A and B are shown apart, each in its own frame.
Chain A
Amino acid sequence: MCCKLAFRNVRRSLKDYFVYFLTLTFGVCIFYVFGSMDAQQAMDSPVQSSIFAMLIQIMDVLSVFVSIVLGFLVLYANTFLIKRRKKELGVYALLGMPKGKVNLIFLLETAVVGALSLACGLGLGVAASQAVSLLTAQVFEVKLDTFHFVFSPVAAGKTILYFAIIFVVVMALGSVSISRQKLIDLLSAQKKNQRFRAKKLWHAVVLFLLSVALIGTAYGMFIKNGMRVLGNEIPVIMAIGGVGTLLFFMSLSGFLLRICKSNRRLYYNKLNMFVLRQLNSKINTTYLSVTFICLMLLLAVGALSFGIGVADSMQSELEVCTRYDVSLYNGSANDSGRPVLELLGEHGYDLDDYLERSVSFAYHDTGIRKSDLLAGCYEGEDIPGVNVTIDAVSQSDYNALMELSGQPTVDLSQGEYGVVALSGDAQKAVKRYLATERSLTLAGETLTAYRGGYLTGSLETSTGTGASGDVVFVLPDRVAAAIPSIRGTVSGFYAGDKEETEKEFFAFINQVGGEIEAGSEVRIYGATAEMVYQIALGSKVTFLYIGIYLGIVFLLASAAILALQQLSEAADNNQRYRLLRKLGTDDGMVRGAVFSQVALYFFIPLALALVHSAVFFYVMQDALTSLGVQNIWPSTLWTLGIVLAIYGAYFVLTYFGARRMATETSLATK
């Protein structure tokens, strides 16, 4: 009997359950998609596989976090549903149904909806993961000859387990809250909701001004300090901004009301007065959740645009890092100046089979700290890599490398030194450094700076801007020779078909490297262009997926909370709208009032979140540039697109739901 009742209830209150169901389905879908990375197409190379393994691990950790967020969302939604249906539960109790049975009915209902949405979500997730798999393959430039159906039993199992836990916890908490209720409270729940106490409006005005001042202060501090002095100030700025946001939502409706009241024409226009009063009457119970929603939206926008932005970047820097097909260097603790080729030769190997052309060279340890040399030249106060010393190469090595890779050579005059700057940041700093007369004393000789400005020749292929950092000296051969050499390096180009050789070389160097390194202090490091490229791609994908995953979950959570809140409010407002219609208010006007109400609730938190994130990204500009993000517009547009699609869909759904409740009940029935 209970089962039948529960099923029928679900079907009957489908409209109540719809948003809940939709959110759960979507949540399960996202959860599965990002948990099923392990089932993606086999990767081409060992580098790709290892990157992918990392991605899977990160997603695993995120999944736990996301499941907690979703758990709270489900809990919130369930509390709302119980509230909505208190009266119905009261009637069951009134008819003499034991509390255990009432509980059971509700449990069954939750279970039915949960199971249904789990099934739908998994189905949707499996479908969506096909698309994600194709996308991943495309990003990694893996050629897919045939279409493979991707399914991850592990992810499916995990999804079911996590959500089962969520449902069990939620059901348990729900039944506790039901059994605590007194019958009279259940029956008169609707009347109780409508209690209302007015507050003085000038309080709101004062609070609002205070909130704007606080938010402004937080922005000011953030913009002024930038990311440089982050450590101590960031918590303070966040606290000020957070409190400001809280006060903003606490006082906004009162402030708007006050402003509108002083403009009679606006205030007495259509139902403006009614809408503002509605807003103001609810704000005491909603400002906390709206603040929370605003901050979640901020996180969502941040995660999305950051992820997409980084994924959209990193091409320019990559060129500098991949000028040669391959570079190897001697990274031993002692005597690292010995050329790599010599080390290999000692063990009876040579690279001639793999490398068509190469240059062997070594760096020289000048002992000059970057932070000393370039003090005051960077825009901010601190210099990236404080303790890094600047290495040098001889002019002839430099020119040999330049000729090898087809970059411009340099012709230093007598007693001159050059400075190579590779990253954009370093180039700016070195330019500033060279603007004044600079001399350098090395190995007892005083050198003056090369007049042609900084140099941009890339010396090796590496995953960063090189083990030597992004600033390198070019010294006259004589001076260089007088300085101890470190990191014997070889940079070169493959012979024959590049892809083939890359594979062979990779296998060769792994084997040989292990052999040479075994039982000795010798270490050989290196990178190939392909590897650097793959790692860059890998981190792109990682950033992109983390951003999208978190972004969508936060977006979903905030939109769903708003939707549930507004739908339940619309139900509470049913009587008010009926009265308006009885008095002869146009349906159009009623619809307008519902629209304004729902739109204000949805879009004011979004607007503030967007302003917050705009300020955030304005300050983060430098950090983003150093990550290689050149143009923020594509990611901004994508982010806005995703936000509007998901958030907008919830808004439309909520509006139509609320409108139906407000305008479609018959006036004649009591």
Chain B
Amino acid sequence: MEILRVEHLHKYYGGRGNVTKAVDDISFSVEKGEFLGVMGASGSGKTTLLNCISTIDTATSGSIFVGGQDVTQMRGKKLAAFRRSQLGFVFQDFNLLDTLTARENVALALTILRTPAREIDVRVQNVAAELGIAEVLEKYPYQLSGGQKQRVACARAIVTNPQMVLADEPTGALDSKSARMLLHSLQTMVQVMEATILMVTHDAFTASYCDRILFIKDGRIFSELVKGEQSRKEFFARIIEVVTLLGGESADVL
């Protein structure tokens, strides 16, 4: 089943002879239960693409269908309602509320959905157990390691059973061990909890955990890789090849 379909998406900044095409005619789709990676150098437009999909930013033209609904046609209150019920977010710098405990941070996603109070504790507990953070639920963010914080953020993203989880450089602020644990968690979310994840990253290792990768350059889709039956190591090697190609081409121009 198709969860996300992006059609001819454009996002331009500036105007009058000074137009930056951050996203320039991108189309793709994501199936349910897929772990999609979007790779690109900084400035390639991958974060803008994510912002458009997550309705934090508005597209200049094109359509984005999430679960059959065109989010580019939504305005104001509907957008907020869409975000809280259909999407989950994982940010690079965790973005946990430092005044709330881990449990409360996860519960927050449910309270803004006005979930009945009696359901909240159970759901938080289940997600936390799945992601291995059940023991640290009563702690505050400042008492958690980076990896734990990011897994709490994952729990917050998934606890509402969203159509899709959008992750923006989730390993960007983690050391390699924590990053690996987090990526396993994301895989768990996809495989066990049947989540659909769209992850933006510029790190090849992180990307190698995905099922499929879109490479973006200068606002356009440059290439696409599917993991298929390959092992993660083989997939990683192929990613590196494409990344080299990406960088190499720009070197040619210079």
Interface residues of A, Cβ cutoff 8 Å to B: 194, 196-198, 264-265, 267-274, 277-278, 280-281, 576, 579-587, 589, 667-668
Q: Is B83 an interface residue (CB 8 A)?
A: yes
Contact: B84 with A584, CB < 8 Å? Answer: yes
Q: How far does the Cβ of B22 sit from chain A's closest Cβ, in whole Å?
A: 11
CA distance A196 to B99 in the complex (A): 7
The 10 A-B pairs at the shortest CB distance, nearest first, are namely A584-B84, A584-B83, A268-B117, A281-B99, A668-B57, A277-B99, A264-B117, A265-B117, A585-B112, A667-B56
Q: List the B residue with the shortest CB-CB distance to A578.
A: B95
Q: Once the chains bind, are A196 and B80 in contact (CB under 8 Å)?
A: no
**Do A196 and B109 touch (CB < 8 A)?**
no
Interface residues of B (CB under 8 A from A): 51, 54, 56-57, 77, 79-85, 87, 89, 95, 97-100, 104, 107-112, 114-115, 117-118, 120-121, 140, 142, 156
A273→B77 contact, CB < 8 A: no
Contacts of A586 in B (CB 8 A): 77, 80-81, 112
Instruction: For the complex, give the distance between the alpha carbons of A272 and B112 in Å.
Output: 10
Instruction: Give, as a whole number of angstroms, the nearest-CB distance from A369 to chain B.
Output: 68
Between-chain CB contacts (< 8 Å), 6 pairs? A196-B140, A196-B142, A270-B111, A273-B108, A277-B99, A281-B99
- Closest-CB distance, B82 to chain A (whole angstroms): 7
Closest to A281 in B: B99
Note all chain A residues with C-beta closer than 8 A to B56.
582, 667-668
Taking a contact as CB atoms under 8 Å apart, the answer to whether B81 and A584 are in contact is: yes
Report B-chain residues with C-beta under 8 Å of the C-beta of A272.
111
Minimal beta-carbon separation of A197 from chain B (angstroms): 8
**Looking at the complex, which one of B80, B107, B115, B120 makes contact with A584 (CB distance below 8 Å)?**
B80
Least Cβ–Cβ distance between B236 and chain A, in angstroms: 30
- The distance in angstroms between the C-alpha atoms of A667 and B89, with both chains bound, is 14
- In contact, B109 and A668 (Cβ under 8 angstroms): no
Cα distance A587–B56 when bound, in Å?
Answer: 14
Chain A minimum-CB-distance residue to B51: A668
Shortest Cβ gap from A600 to chain B (Å): 15
Extra inter-chain contacts (6) besides given A581-B80, A582-B54, CB under 8 Å: A196-B99, A576-B97, A579-B95, A583-B109, A583-B156, A586-B81
Contacts of B100 in A (CB 8 A): 273-274, 277
Chain B nearest CB from A206 CB (Å) reads: 20
Give Cα distance in the complex from A586 to B61, angstroms: 26
Query: Once the chains are docked, how many angstroms separate the CA of A583 from the CA of B110?
Result: 10
Residues of B within 8 A of A264 (CB): 117-118, 120-121
Shortest C-beta distance, A581 to chain B (Å), equals 7
The chain A residue with its CB closest to the CB of B82 is: A584
For B110, what are the chain A residues with a Cβ–Cβ distance below 8 Å? 268
Q: Which of the listed residues B85, B87, B100 has the most CB atoms from chain A within 10 Å of its own CB?
A: B100
Given that A198-B140, A265-B117, A587-B77 are known contacts, is A582 also in contact with B98, CB under 8 Å in the complex? no
CA distance A579 to B99 in the complex (A): 13
Query: B125: shortest Cβ distance to chain A, in Å?
Result: 13
Scoring B85, B97, B117 by chain A CB atoms within 10 A of each residue's CB, the highest score goes to B97
- A588 smallest CB distance to B (angstroms): 8
Min distance, Cβ A532 to any Cβ of chain B, angstroms: 63
* Cα of A216 to Cα of B199 in the assembled complex, Å: 59
* Residues on the B chain within 8 Å of A268, using CB: 107, 110-111, 115, 117, 120
